[in-house]
Amino acid sequence: MREKTVGEIADLIDRFLSNQLAYPQEWSDFTDCSNRDPKLDVFRKQCEIISSALETHRPPSLDLNRDERRQDAIDDLKRVAAELRALEKNAPC
């Protein structure tokens, strides 16, 4: 599988947040497979950690802060996408 570029990772985050993945396992394929570029792998690891907050295995009655944590995770993923877009914009041609 070809490594994703900075822009492709940002696009993937946007698709994940808008629930428009290209295929059902696209997000898992991204978060489960390390990137050869250590700089980009840091972003992958961040996404993996952040998105785990979106998955809750406890009933809502036992997780009173679920909605707040979910919004924080969404905001964090948007921040990561923005960082990636800034890197892409400032990358040498």
Burial of 88 (0-12, 13-18, 19+ CB in 10 A): middle
Residue 71 lies in a domain: yes
Count up the domains in the chain and report the number: 1
- Per-residue model confidence as pLDDT tens digits over 26-78: 999 999 999 999 999 999 999 999 988 777 555 555 556 777 888 899 999 99
Say if 68 falls within a structural domain: yes
The half-sphere exposure of 27 on its side-chain side, counting CA atoms within 13 A, is 20
| 92 belongs to a structural domain | no
Token pair 């994940």 is at which residue?
Answer: 16
Q: Does a structural domain hold residue 50?
A: yes
Is residue 52, in this structure, part of any structural domain at all? yes
pTM of the predicted structure, to 2 decimals: 0.84
- Domain extent at residue 56: 6-87
